[in-house]
Amino acid sequence: SQTIHQWPATLVQPVGSPLSLECTVEGTSNPNLYWYRQAAGRGLQLLFYSVGIGQISSEVPQNLSASRPQDRQFILSSKKLLLSDSGFYLCAWSQGSSQPQHFGDGTRLSIL
């Protein structure tokens, strides 16, 4: 069966520090991969998606970037975090264009 792992579960970082959140999927090959953010009291906003290694599409202009160095690995990064980057970050995967997305357990990021 397929599983998705995200880490860390929680992270507290100072403003201006770098960020690296990692997501890996097991039990499938060539998945579509996604990064979402849920700000407090709001719905899920798609940040990035990837349909293959090295292929990244960005949905919103922001302080973050994403990379897909391997087929089942998706990384969310920032060189300098802002206070507004605080939130709950979720990685998701799907197999095929009409299949549901399945989510990891998320990372709670707090910027001080």
Q: Which residue has the tokens 């922001």?
A: 62
Contact string (CB under 8 A) for other proteins, positions 38-77, x = contact: ----xxxxx--xxx-----x-x------------------
Closer of 29 and 98 to other proteins (Cβ):
98
Contact string (CB under 8 A) for other proteins, positions 15-34, x = contact: -----------------x-x
Give me the least distance between CB of 25 and other proteins, in Å please: 13
* Residue whose C-alpha is closest to residue 103's, from 58, 46, 51: 46
SS3 95: coil
Residue 85 sits at φ, ψ, to 5 deg, of: -80, -5
